[in-house]
Structure 1
Amino acid sequence: MEDSGIADAAGLLAQARQVFHGDSGALAVLDELDERVSGPLRIAVAGMVKAGKSTLLNAIIGEEIAPTDAGECTRIVTWYRHGATPRVTLFPVNGEPRPLPVTREDGRLVFPLGGIRAEDVERLVVDWPAASLKDLTLIDTPGIASLSQDVSGRSTAFLLPENAPSAADAVIYLMRHMHASDVRFLESFRDNVAGQSGTVNALAVLSRADEIGAGRIDSLISAAVIADRYSRDENLKPLALGVVPVAGLLAQSSRTMRQTDYEALVALAGLGKSAWERIMLSADRFVRATEPAGIAAETRVSLVERFGLFGIRLGVALVRGGLDDPTALAHELARRSGLGQLLQSIASLFQTRAEALKARAAVVGLEALLRSTAPEDAASLVTALERLQAGAHEFRELRLLAALRTSGVGLAPDAAAEAERLVGGSGTSAALRLGLPDDSGEDSVSDAARACLDRWRAIAENPLTEPAALGACRVVIRSCEGMLAAIPAGR
């Protein structure tokens, strides 16, 4: 559902240019906000050290371009955006940007910094012709709570800047288990971002999910149970829109599977039960094994590094189950890694609401600019800004979603859960809002939306409804009306 108020954000920035026409610093801020509104959605990938951020980012992109070792580049904020040709640009803390050579080693992109220390680099920007980057820009951040305060501080400064909106429109936060440090960061992100923009825009990922079950073939089932429990946790629920379990290593390797990987998995599938169980007791046993013949030692090492024991077990089980095509096998491994669910969550929770999130970031940025330096003739701009914030329904939905997950609005639990869904808490398509199957026809959507509209009008008119809940009812009613208005006339 589009709202004309969202498009007004660009007009508001144009009006601000007239107000700040003589202030070069303010105009530079407006340039950045204009670029943000017109560009792709920005999603940061954050988490503690060794949470698997770069690995998951590679899986989302579908190529191994983010360094996953412990080198200098993993200590630098790195932007991955779409470009017609591969290009890497280094932005130093002081000085002009400079290009870096595009170099690959063993199929992976490497960033030679040319003697520049990581602490002297503000960011790296990688332009890459990947289809997955056309609609979103991914930002890899150094590990939070690193033993190095400089490394940890770099991520904190980027994601939680003082007196300014975050440079990311949303964040994918990786955690191996839910620790107090994870909750503290998400609380800070909510206070910095949601506190200013009125929304909860973080998605938690239970990364390295295959390790939860010690690499057993049913590890993802165990991880899904834990992720569901975390998503309902009273400490985490107000901070994240959901928790998705993903076996990041398998997700990355399935998207970049090589012919040698497939051939080795086929050969392993031919082993007898006793031999197979013997070599799979540990990674060391697998690497040192001599059976089946024909798999080189370096191939065994590569399989463990790229797939882990969980991925090897799952790949062999799928081959034995009849998947004899490398492309089909790669797709099934990716699906079972949890990557598909993650991509679907990113699309439904963030990408379908991209214009609203970008416009909201521009509004927050403009508010910060007016707080820091407000010209005498800024009164009309302030009025227009307040009008946009109050009038744009998408913004009201975002604020209500945050309120439902944090302070509450005085609705009964069942009604609050339905309100959260109807304003897009599980995704912004009409089917997701209404709890219908994705392939539901317009008649089904119309009937469900009309039933919801009637029900929420009745709640609003009920004299027993708390005054604090009436505002929420009005937002939900407007969302239902919007779904009905989007259905062609005559339905």
Structure 2
Amino acid sequence: MTAATMAGAAKLIRDTLEAYRDDREAAGMLQGYARRLAEPLRIAVAGMVKAGKSTLLNAIIGEEIAPTDTGECTKIVTWYRHGPTPRITLHPVNGERRNLPLKRVDGRLVFVLDGMQAEEVERLEVEWPAPALQGMTLIDTPGIASLSRDVSARSLAFLTPEDSASEADAVIYLMRHLHASDLRFLESFHDTRAGRSGTVNAIAVLSRADEVGAGRIDSLISAGSIAERYSQDPNLRKLALAVVPVAGLLAQSARTLRQADFEALRMLAGLDRTVRERMLLSADRFRRSTEPAGLTEGARTGLLERYGLFGIRLASVLIRNGFTEATPLAHELARRSGLDPLLDVLDRQFQARSEALKARTALAAVENLLASRPREGTERLAAALERLQVNAHEFRELQLLAVLRTTGVDLPSELSAEAERLVGGNGAASWVRLGLDAGSSPEVLAAEARRYLARWRGVAESPLTGRPAAEACRVVIRSCEGVVAGSSGRQRQPRSA
């Protein structure tokens, strides 16, 4: 996102705030969007009940600070922001906000609501000094389609408000299988003001992926095949940028692996393979087993709760194959859980274009305000808004990406797929757009970008290319020009001695 576009968006919000300074509701809304431009990207974690939302959130953060039980706290929208010191703030529906005590039980953060019920709490805000939260704010939402209509309604009202922009700039949506209810939610989120701003701003996660293969060691391979099939589904493809399989429980435990866990897993790895596989046929059999002698029933129960049968099997195999220290084992378990690919997609699809997503959401809110509450003298604001929307190439990329994934353009399928990649459909980094390796030199990037540039100029100038397709070509051409300019700029930088 160019600094000029961000500055233009911030100025438009300031000018609109001045025009609506006597409208308390509008002014409050605009002040909120001004703050959002300066804050990290807001990413909501959503999904059906027991999809593993809080568990995945803990895995992304790298600490067990989101409650994963079925208590009152899982029924409340909870924000996780970066802060220098840990703090939990309760915002009640009525009354003044107040800080909650920090309490840990067995290494996990526990929220003490001081007798309040979930319906009495508007939201909880957790500030935590986790590096993962420096670049994004994560929002844990109650389960959709909960047995409690109030709980489900709370999530839907937060994520898909009817008459305003969503509080979230993007969403990670967890699903165990692809159901019509999943598509309905993603369609609703896409139809919010943020969604109608012209982008696909959701990532789908095939959660609890280890259960796809009944906990077998190759479960993630099977889950990967299913995720790939889902990603090609035309109904889902227009609503989600990617489908990633993740074994959330293993991802959380790998990121928070304790030395006691490692010692217990190492004892299991030392057993004869036949003995170990027999005891891991079921959770009950594992819990009741008497081998190895030094592993208590309580320790076995703890391992099951934290790793599941799949994680225990995988960790045992990895230890026998050379991961004989806790830290390397934790990193490999996290990678095998599918967490690393998810973090990569988050970085490529959301973090790399966070400024554009935030600005687009804010401008959509200004557009809605000008349309729903017009007043004398705001014509110049509408004109400034239109100029920003038309001239900002980042917005045009997002709009074209949405068109390519929904209605499509009149281009051959291979060119449409190439256009989607070049405008950032697989990620905003230059090497991803060009289909090259991450370590490609600026010279290689520039040469490949020029090759694409020449091809797309030819397509745009062809008499066989209709007007809508030619407009799409011009967006692709501008994206290629941007890669060339950026790569050439890096080539001119003096090399360090």
Cα distance in structure 2, aligned partners of 1:158 and 1:50 = 19
1:186-231 Cα offsets, whole Å, 9 max, x none, are 1111122465210001000000000000000000000011100100
Cα distance in structure 2, aligned partners of 1:219 and 1:194 = 36
| Secondary structure at the counterpart of residue 36 of structure 2 | helix
Residue number in structure 2 paired with 1:281: 281
Q: Does the aligned pair in 2 maintain the 1:49–1:142 contact within 8 Å?
A: yes
Residue number in structure 1 paired with 2:416: 416
1:260-319 Cα offsets, whole Å, 9 max, x none, are 110011101111123212211101111111100111211100000000000000000000
- Displacement of 1:54 in angstroms is 0.2
1:305-360 Cα offsets, whole Å, 9 max, x none, are 00000000000000000111100000000010000000000000000000000111
Alignment of 1:379-458 (within 5 A): 379-458=379-458
Letter in 2 for 1:309: L
Letter in 2 for 1:317: V
Residue number in structure 1 paired with 2:344: 344
- Displacement of 1:3 in angstroms is 6.1
Cα distance in structure 2, aligned partners of 1:390 and 1:279 = 63
| Secondary structure at the counterpart of residue 60 of structure 1 | helix
Alignment of 1:95-174 (within 5 A): 95-174=95-174
| Secondary structure at the counterpart of residue 486 of structure 1 | helix
Letter in 2 for 1:174: L
Q: Does the aligned pair in 1 maintain the 2:193–2:364 contact within 8 Å?
A: no
Cα distance in structure 2, aligned partners of 1:138 and 1:304 = 27
Aligned residues: 491
1:17-69 Cα offsets, whole Å, 9 max, x none, are 22122222222111100111000000000000000000000000000000000
Cα distance in structure 1, aligned partners of 2:85 and 2:437 = 40
Cα distance in structure 1, aligned partners of 2:173 and 2:311 = 23
Alignment of 1:49-448 (within 5 A): 49-193=49-193, 195-448=195-448
Letter in 2 for 1:118: A
Cα distance in structure 2, aligned partners of 1:383 and 1:151 = 42
Letter in 2 for 1:412: P
Letter in 1 for 2:186: L
Q: After superposing the two structures, state which structure 1 stretch, 328-337 or 269-278, moved more.
A: 269-278
- Displacement of 1:487 in angstroms is 2.2
Cα distance in structure 1, aligned partners of 2:9 and 2:413 = 35
Cα distance in structure 1, aligned partners of 2:111 and 2:372 = 37
Residue number in structure 1 paired with 2:495: none
Which structure's relative contact order is higher, taking Cα pairs within 8 Å and 6+ residues apart? 1
Cα distance in structure 2, aligned partners of 1:51 and 1:324 = 32
Q: Does the aligned pair in 1 maintain the 2:58–2:66 contact within 8 Å?
A: yes
| Secondary structure at the counterpart of residue 81 of structure 1 | strand
Q: Does the aligned pair in 2 maintain the 1:210–1:220 contact within 8 Å?
A: yes
Q: After superposing the two structures, state which structure 1 stretch, 427-436 or 19-28, moved more.
A: 19-28
Q: Does the aligned pair in 1 maintain the 2:215–2:310 contact within 8 Å?
A: yes
Cα distance in structure 1, aligned partners of 2:96 and 2:273 = 61
Superposition misfits of 4+ residues, deviation over 4 angstroms: none
Letter in 1 for 2:128: W
1:428-462 Cα offsets, whole Å, 9 max, x none, are 01000000000000111011100111101000000
Cα distance in structure 1, aligned partners of 2:376 and 2:95 = 34
1:361-380 Cα offsets, whole Å, 9 max, x none, are 11011122223323312111
Q: Does the aligned pair in 1 maintain the 2:210–2:219 contact within 8 Å?
A: yes
Letter in 1 for 2:142: P
Q: Does the aligned pair in 1 maintain the 2:43–2:139 contact within 8 Å?
A: yes
Cα distance in structure 2, aligned partners of 1:414 and 1:262 = 49
1:86-142 Cα offsets, whole Å, 9 max, x none, are 111111112221111111111111111111110111110000110110010000000
Q: Does the aligned pair in 2 maintain the 1:422–1:434 contact within 8 Å?
A: yes
Cα distance in structure 1, aligned partners of 2:17 and 2:239 = 35
Q: Does the aligned pair in 2 maintain the 1:82–1:127 contact within 8 Å?
A: yes
Cα distance in structure 2, aligned partners of 1:147 and 1:448 = 54
Letter in 2 for 1:86: P
Q: After superposing the two structures, state which structure 1 stretch, 290-299 or 20-29, moved more.
A: 20-29
Structure 1 unmatched runs, 5+:
none
Q: After superposing the two structures, state which structure 1 stretch, 343-352 or 25-34, moved more.
A: 25-34
Cα distance in structure 2, aligned partners of 1:466 and 1:474 = 12
Cα distance in structure 1, aligned partners of 2:21 and 2:81 = 30
Q: Does the aligned pair in 1 maintain the 2:166–2:194 contact within 8 Å?
A: no
RMSD: 1.2
Letter in 2 for 1:214: A
Residue number in structure 2 paired with 1:31: 31
TM-score (norm 2): 0.97
Describe the shift of the 1:153–1:364 C-alpha distance in structure 2 as closer, same or farther (beyond 3 A): same
Q: After superposing the two structures, state which structure 1 stretch, 13-22 or 458-467, moved more.
A: 13-22
- Displacement of 1:234 in angstroms is 1.4
Work out the percentage of aligned pairs sharing the same amino acid: 63
Cα distance in structure 2, aligned partners of 1:74 and 1:194 = 25
Q: Does the aligned pair in 1 maintain the 2:49–2:145 contact within 8 Å?
A: yes
Residue number in structure 2 paired with 1:46: 46
Q: After superposing the two structures, state which structure 1 stretch, 205-214 or 89-98, moved more.
A: 89-98
Cα distance in structure 2, aligned partners of 1:28 and 1:417 = 42
Describe the shift of the 1:210–1:349 C-alpha distance in structure 2 as closer, same or farther (beyond 3 A): same
TM-score (norm 1): 0.98
1:397-424 Cα offsets, whole Å, 9 max, x none, are 0000000000112121111100100000
| Secondary structure at the counterpart of residue 331 of structure 1 | helix
Cα distance in structure 1, aligned partners of 2:194 and 2:434 = 25
Q: Does the aligned pair in 1 maintain the 2:76–2:123 contact within 8 Å?
A: yes
Q: Does the aligned pair in 1 maintain the 2:193–2:365 contact within 8 Å?
A: no
Cα distance in structure 2, aligned partners of 1:113 and 1:190 = 33
| Secondary structure at the counterpart of residue 409 of structure 1 | coil
Residue number in structure 2 paired with 1:476: 476
Cα distance in structure 2, aligned partners of 1:446 and 1:374 = 47
Q: After superposing the two structures, state which structure 1 stretch, 18-27 or 376-385, moved more.
A: 18-27
Q: Does the aligned pair in 2 maintain the 1:3–1:394 contact within 8 Å?
A: no
Q: After superposing the two structures, state which structure 1 stretch, 21-30 or 385-394, moved more.
A: 21-30
Q: Does the aligned pair in 2 maintain the 1:5–1:393 contact within 8 Å?
A: no
